[in-house]
Structure 1
Amino acid sequence: MEYIPILVLIISFVGLLSIGTPVAWSIAISSLLTMLVSIPALPAFTTISQRMATGLDSFALLAIPFFILSGELMNNGGIAHRLIAFAKTLVGALPGGLALINVISAMLMGAIAGSAMASASAMGSILGPEMEKEGYDKEFGAAVNITSATTGLVIPPSNILIVYSLASGGASIAALFLAGYIPGILTGLFLMVVASFWAKKKGYNVGKRSSFKEVFRTFVDAVPALFLLVLVIGGIVAGIFTATEASAIAVLYSLILGFIYKEITLEKLPKIFLDSSATTAIVMLLIGASMSMSWVLSYEHIPQEISTGLLGISDNKIMILLIINLILLLVGIFMDITPAVLIFTPIFLPVVTKLGIDPVHFGVIMILNLCIGLCTPPVGSVLFVGVGIAKTSIEKVVRPLLPLFVAMIAALFLITYIPQLTLWLPGLFDL
């Protein structure tokens, strides 16, 4: 009998997904069906709806709609063009220069906008045609754009780091933000190395070396956008404001910057607000549904059983982290990053904390791992955006994607087994 709830949960969730039910509704309905196994219908319906509502009752979650809005403002405010121009002067003369520009620009854009989708859309639409013009394969350009866009989910400010903080029961957002820098940059560097080797092998064109004057000019042009990182992260780390307050400041700064650059007008604002509202609604529905499933898992004592099972296999930290990474890589293929973080954090966090692993370190491992899933079918949202922007197909992009996947997995395992890469910066600021 004790295995019936988990079987109902898994079978109903997979079944709903397989017939095309949206992820949020699949999560909520499968959670409800699982509760119906244990309690009568009225309390089950009441409990699920109540848990969806109370799951969103968090001050920290206010930061998400603000960061989404600031990302939309940045995406429409001419930021991408300036970041690309700056990146071009830095690495344009290296083998695969345009691919390297894509990676650096995506890291900067992702860090500023906090959205992999926004980064993939902006970089793909601007750099994609330019790469084709210079003789790069369309599929290679799309593969680089897709994988590099996910680095912005690790480099702060990042909405998914805030979601993990909520799911973990209070891991410091400031510590998570600082912890994401080195892993995000390291992943970007690994992608750049692979992209450079691939470009050299294919014999793609190499750009001209930029003068110091050009580097300085493009840097000065990009400084107002880059200052947002200093403003937001510096303010949080210094204790001047919370992550939620920082997100509101980011919106105000992005709006002012868009008007200064003359890329945002009063006529454009309604569409920007509407787009950010639609994205926020999707994210919040996913969070509410996922919180209800997390509660159902806890009610049925599933995390404790999984914890006991994993520790029964081995109490070796290296082996347990390997197993969890493999499970998360599989989960990322079939589930979007937000529900995956909310559902699996309560399951795996008790296991790793028993082994003495820092929750901040584990949070970065989990998010970096699930970022790989965003680039894989059948639910890889960034994959579909990147392929759509490039006007190609998933089948054609797979081949150049594979070595970039290897680069991301190599970075993941380095971050997993060298915790200092994640914890050094938070430790520096006593967070």
Structure 2
Amino acid sequence: MDTNTIAMLILLGSFFLMLIMRVPIAFALGLSTLFTTWYLDIPLLIVAQQMVKGINSFSLMAIPFFILAGEIMSEGGISKRLIDFSNVLIGRVRGGLAMVNILASMFFGGISGSSVADTSSIGSIMIPMMEKEGYDKDYSINVTITSSTQGVIIPPSHNMIIYSMAAGGISVGKLFLGGMIPGILLGVSLMILSYAIAVKRHYPKGEKISFSDAKKIISESLLGLFTAIIIVGGVLSGIFTATESAAIAAVYAFIITFFVYKDIPFKHMYVILRNSIKTLAIIMAIIATSSAFGWMMAYLKIPTLITQTLIGISSSKLVILLIVNVVLLLLGMIMDMAPLIMIATPILLPVVTAVGMDPIQFGIVMMLNLGIGLITPPVGSTLFVGCSIGGAKIEQIAKSLLPFYLLLFAYLMLITFIPQITLAIPNFFM
């Protein structure tokens, strides 16, 4: 074997071996890059430079603000208010709590941008509530974790910012707008499926809410929802960049939580900052090591090789896009979202653009693929969180998720082969 082939085996082989050994993803990326660098006798300083280059981006400044805003609103009682607000809108139908769960996840996804945060906040309230009202445990967990996948699609999503950087700096604003219709339609689709199951299992209807209570709930909830409006509206109008809107949203979330809602004392800000910094440190470490890993792949011409291989398999757009989706789904089952975006984007984006897919559309397709991975064994972090909250075994929940998996896959095919679903709003406004 030639030197390049051996280097590829060292890079990819050591990386997947460390994943199997459950080495933290940032260390696996960094160490596999170092092993390959040593073999090729490349100065180690280059690896450090690539890591610094990976996080030295103005666009990434939006991520800490998004994380902070999400933590503030999550800890400050917004999830309970969004659940009450959703209950006012749709709680009275058959299986109303499931509808409330999905709608609340849709709203919360527009604030946190995180599937795991969504499940942690909404699930800790909704799963016990649904079980108390007579819903089966598996159904309660299924609805909670599948609806949380909206959080990675509906803007704002810090994963979209990571994708924007990995894709060479495409518009974050267009990505945010591109996720709006797919995210909403996904929520509606999940509501239809959940309603059908609720009717079949004879789940109860919700209770009627008085006009005065509804008015109070709506007024309180709209203050929290305005966080997402600031971000999307600011970017859409051109008043703010994504980074500026994230910073303003964090300040607004702070004011609403501590001076309007007042559900938590000001000293709790220490916990919020600690959690935010912990999350940010993990994300930045992954981005830094992913950048070095991606540079090494480009140096070895792995993306070019994969592109030529996939296009050589078939000239059919249908076949190539199906292969890309299957690859992303499989990788999403074994890897976390942020590093996978950094690694897979430079490899697969040239493939899909070669067959005519828009980078904005591919970004949303990738988000949904990896969102499905978050609720799929063996590494699905959202699945683990949901099962932990609900006190259920993963194998039991994964089996009962089959109807939801089928729906998500069908919807994935829809946004893959009908680009207008994703591109209509960004093309109209930008």
TM-score (structure 2 length as normaliser):
0.96
Aligned mates of 2:214, 2:330 — CA distance in 1: 42
AA partner of residue 135 (structure 2): Y
How far the C-alpha of 1:353 sits from its partner, in A, is 1.6
Matching of residues 394-405 of structure 1 within 5 Å: 394-405=394-405
How far the C-alpha of 1:333 sits from its partner, in A, is 0.4
SS state at 1:3 partner = helix
Partner of 2:249: 250
Aligned residues of 1:89 and 1:214 also touching (Cα < 8 A): no
Aligned residues of 1:71 and 1:113 also touching (Cα < 8 A): yes
Aligned residues of 1:111 and 1:153 also touching (Cα < 8 A): no
Aligned residues of 2:115 and 2:371 also touching (Cα < 8 A): no
Aligned residues of 1:90 and 1:210 also touching (Cα < 8 A): no
Give the percent of matched residue pairs that are identical in Structure 1 and Structure 2: 46
How far the C-alpha of 1:187 sits from its partner, in A, is 1.4
Aligned mates of 2:72, 2:61 — CA distance in 1: 17
Partner of 1:359: 359
Aligned mates of 1:32, 1:78 — CA distance in 2: 45
Greater CA deviation, 329-338 or 391-400?
391-400
How far the C-alpha of 1:120 sits from its partner, in A, is 0.5
Structure 1 residues 212 and 399, CA, compared in 2 at 3 Å: closer, same or farther? farther
Matching of residues 125-274 of structure 1 within 5 Å: 125-210=124-209, 215-259=214-258, 260-274=260-274
Matching of residues 314-393 of structure 1 within 5 Å: 314-393=314-393
Aligned residues of 1:107 and 1:148 also touching (Cα < 8 A): yes
Aligned mates of 1:411, 1:186 — CA distance in 2: 9
Aligned residues of 1:27 and 1:289 also touching (Cα < 8 A): yes
Structure 1 residues 179 and 212, CA, compared in 2 at 3 Å: closer, same or farther? farther
Greater CA deviation, 92-101 or 370-379?
92-101
Aligned mates of 2:92, 2:22 — CA distance in 1: 46
How far the C-alpha of 1:405 sits from its partner, in A, is 1.3
How far the C-alpha of 1:209 sits from its partner, in A, is 4.6
Aligned mates of 2:252, 2:215 — CA distance in 1: 23
Matching of residues 75-90 of structure 1 within 5 Å: 75-90=74-89
- Provide, for residues 373-422 of structure 1, a one-character-per-residue CA deviation record: whole Å limited to 9, x for no partner: 00112221111111111122202211321211111111111000000000
Aligned mates of 1:127, 1:139 — CA distance in 2: 13
How far the C-alpha of 1:266 sits from its partner, in A, is 1.6
- Provide, for residues 315-356 of structure 1, a one-character-per-residue CA deviation record: whole Å limited to 9, x for no partner: 222211111001000000011111111101000111122222
Aligned mates of 2:215, 2:7 — CA distance in 1: 61
Q: Are 1:122 and 2:124 counterparts?
A: no
How far the C-alpha of 1:425 sits from its partner, in A, is 0.4
Partner of 1:423: 423
Partner of 2:72: 73
AA partner of residue 410 (structure 2): A
Aligned mates of 1:183, 1:371 — CA distance in 2: 13
Aligned residues of 1:90 and 1:215 also touching (Cα < 8 A): no
Aligned mates of 1:111, 1:28 — CA distance in 2: 32
Partner of 1:6: 8
- Provide, for residues 59-113 of structure 1, a one-character-per-residue CA deviation record: whole Å limited to 9, x for no partner: 0001111110100000011111111011112221222211111111011111112
Aligned mates of 1:266, 1:80 — CA distance in 2: 19
Greater CA deviation, 274-283 or 210-219?
210-219
Partner of 2:37: 35
Aligned mates of 1:96, 1:115 — CA distance in 2: 25
Partner of 2:102: 103
Partner of 1:287: 287
SS state at 1:135 partner = coil
Greater CA deviation, 200-209 or 159-168?
200-209
Partner of 2:63: 64
AA partner of residue 27 (structure 2): W
Which segments of 5 or more consecutive residues in structure 1 lack a partner in the other structure?
A: none
Aligned mates of 2:22, 2:75 — CA distance in 1: 32
Greater CA deviation, 216-225 or 356-365?
216-225
How far the C-alpha of 1:211 sits from its partner, in A, is 6.0
How far the C-alpha of 1:49 sits from its partner, in A, is 2.1
